[in-house]
Amino acid sequence: MPSLSPFKRKPSKSKVPTSNNLPPSSYEAGTRASNEEFMEGGGGNSAQHMNQSPRRGKNLPLHGTEAPPSPIAPAPGGTSSWFDSDTPNPSPLRGMVGGGGEGGLGAMSLEPDLDPFNVSGEGGFGGAGGEDDARMLLSEVAMSYAFPCKGLLKMSPLIMLVSTVSCILTALAIRSYTPNDGSSNDYSVVFDNILSEARYIDLTHSLTPSIPTYYGFSPPTFYPGKSSRDMENFATVGQEYTYAEHGFITTSYVFSNDQLGTLLTVPAGWNEMGATVSDVGASTTLRPLVVIDITSDVSKGGGEYTATADDVKKYELSVRRKIKPGSIVVFRSDWSLKYDDYLTDGLPSIYPSVSLDALKFLHDERNILMHGVEPFDNDMTGNKEGEAWIAHKNKCMLKGLKNLHKVPKHGCLASIGFMKALGGTGAFARVVAICPEIHMKSTVEFGEKVKDELKTKEYPLRRDDKGVLRVSLDAKPTEYCKEQTSLGCTSGGKGVWEGEE
């Protein structure tokens, strides 16, 4: 991989300091996390080497102090310098991670399997915490490596020209990423610059009259919408709305309960003092998304496995970061990949679930917003202890998710839309993962890119025997505006979308 520097520097004659020749006082910079447990200590200033960096493809010594293991309370991290082994003038980088608890400064983690914008490494990789974001990281890296302009005068004219152009281009890139013209207060630029380039992955099952349900629940029924009253020169009671006579149609849905399909469950379903659907805050609709993969254990268990707190901790070790407070944490089991079988054979009696100790760890230790699962149920225990605990702690959960095998394990957002029924005990939900395109290169399939236009059907829609609108290859297209009662027509008897002659 090429260096971040726009040109090759000459090897430095200066000696790279290590923890062996640094002042003892610098050991107080912070505590260092072990591989077994993430601690809230200061990021220290780890002198650890970063091998096989995805940004450079070589060792990156971290110039700084190595904080020894310590049981003391969280401490602010010190400062750290990140530089090439052949860089003569290492520049301190601030705002890269921050010390644990106090938000000091630590060293940056750039492991091969991590997001390069991971600025929340732990312990020797940097303190857990900190407040500066990735924009500061980009700016500091660029300033340290793309702008070594004080050395330009010592170069040949050609190299100096190339280096200068590189500096200017990088400056423009940083400028466009960190505007100072007030546009950072305009959230529409977030869509323009970030979300418009993202991939969107639907995690939602469609509600159908054939959707599988557990014992005690029944699927919905779909009917053509009909007029509920007499309306002179337009419709009579019980008359079905049609494209030909009225210009539009509607559909009537009958649900036996609110616990079907992809679902947002709320505390009131189990807790008489709990929140209902209409109490769920608007900020719930967009949160960081974490995907914990338990597929190997599910496969070994023949489809049955209960995720534990250890699975969550293993996930955190694998990504070298703690789960952020307020996140939505979902468990990938690939249960949904056999959904077509469930439509014909019914739901299986065993399924992957989440243990009570995992739920307690996620909510009590990591303060997540909610968790989610692929099955239509969360709990394999006889008394549903996990579901009861969640509800009586006044927390929500998601059930019936799909396509989690297409979502990276971190770095995405979860968008949740749901039916806001007053006093509801559950809500049919639309859940979408919004992921950076850079992440999608390692997933099974690409998600959907932003598109504003809906695809027009090639053949007319007609209802099947269950009342669902589907494309009908044999249907004759409707002649709109032939009836005087039809809406959306011009005085000339044409649709307003067609215009008058």
CATH of the domain at 382: 3.50.30.50
Name, of 168-177, 200-209, 491-500, the range with top average pLDDT. Answer: 200-209
Report which listed range, 164-178, 400-414, 483-497, is most confident: 400-414
The answer to whether the beta carbons of residues 329 and 420 sit under 8 Å apart is no
Backbone phi, psi, residue 224, to 5°: -65, 140
Please give the Cα distance from 120 to 321 (Å, whole number).
6
Q: How far apart are CA 312 and CA 364, in angstroms?
A: 13
Tell me how far apart the alpha carbons of residues 386 and 127 are, in angstroms, rounded to a whole number. Answer: 33
307 and 417 assigned to the same domain: yes
Residue 378 lies in a domain: yes
**Does residue 4 surpass a pLDDT of 60?**
no
Looking at the structure, do residues 166 and 309 belong to the same domain, yes or no?
no
The confidence score (pLDDT) of residue 101 equals 35
Give the count of alpha carbons within 13 A of 325, CB side only: 5
Q: What is the mean pLDDT of residues 362-377?
A: 96
Could you read off the pLDDT of 269-278 as tens digits, one per residue? 999 999 999 9
**Amino acid residing at 29:** A
- Do 145 and 26 have their domain in common? yes
Exposure pattern of 378-387 as b/e (b: 16+ CB <10 Å)?
Answer: bbbeeebebb
Across 377-391, average pLDDT: 89
Q: Tell me, what amino acid is at 387?
A: E
Most confident of 21-35, 37-51, 78-92, 453-467: 453-467
Q: What is the pLDDT of residue 453?
A: 87
CA–CA separation, 48 and 126 (whole Å): 10
pLDDT at residue 238 greater than cutoff 90: yes
234 close to 246: Cβ distance less than 8 angstroms: yes
- The band of 163, judged by pLDDT with boundaries at 50, 70 and 90, is low
Could you tell me if 96 and 62 are in contact, meaning their C-beta atoms sit under 8 angstroms apart? no
Neighbours of 295 (CB within 10 A): 17
What span, in angstroms and rounded, lies between the C-alpha atoms of 486 and 356?
Answer: 58
Domain-ending residue, one of 178, 196, 216: 178
pLDDT value of residue 380:
80
Average per-residue pLDDT for the chain? 73
Is residue 35 within 8 Å of residue 120, measured between CB atoms? no
Q: Say yes or no: 147 and 270 in one domain.
A: no
Q: Which of 140, 155, 178 is the last residue of a domain?
A: 178
Of residues 342 and 14, the one with the higher pLDDT is: 342
In this predicted structure, the answer to whether residue 54 has a pLDDT above a threshold of 70 is no
What is the mean predicted confidence (pLDDT) over 363-370?
98
- Average of per-residue pLDDT across 229-234: 93
Strands (E), 333-474: 353-354, 370-373, 396-399, 412-418, 426-435, 448-449, 461-463, 469-471
Range of the domain at 106: 19-178
- Asked if 105 contacts 78 with a C-beta cutoff of 8 angstroms, the reply is yes
Q: What is the pLDDT of residue 158?
A: 64
Q: Are both 271 and 166 inside the same structural domain?
A: no
Supply 36's token pair: 């077994």
Percentage of residues of the chain with pLDDT beyond 90: 49
pTM confidence score = 0.66
Decide if 432 is inside a domain. Answer: yes
How many separate domains does the chain show?
2
pLDDT tens digit sequence for 429-452: 999 999 998 755 555 456 888 888
**Residue 63 included in any domain:** yes
Q: At what angle do helices 134-145 and 157-177 cross, to 10 degrees?
A: 170
Residues written for the chain? 501
Nearest to 311 by CA among 302, 326, 323, 303: 323
User: Which tokens belong to 144?
Assistant: 């340290």
Report if residue 189 sits inside a domain.
Answer: no
Whether residue 467 is contained in a domain is answered as no
- Strand, helix or coil for residue 99: coil
314 touches 296 (CB < 8 A): no
Same domain, 407 and 276: yes
Residue 425 lies in a domain: yes
* Cβ–Cβ < 8 Å for 125, 316: no
Q: How far apart are CA 334 and CA 374, in angstroms?
A: 7
Beta-carbon contacts of 373 under 8 Å, excluding residues fewer than 6 positions away, are: 330, 331, 333, 335, 352, 353, 354, 397, 398, 399, 401
Q: What is the dihedral of CA 114, 118, 122, 127, to 10 degrees?
A: 160
Q: CA neighbours within 13 Å on the CB side: how many for 378?
A: 28
Q: Please check whether residue 439 is in contact with residue 425, taking contact to mean a CB–CB distance below 8 angstroms.
A: no
- The answer to whether position 183 is within a domain reads no
End residue of a domain, out of 157, 178, 199: 178
Structural domain includes residue 456: no
State the average pLDDT over residues 8-34. Answer: 37
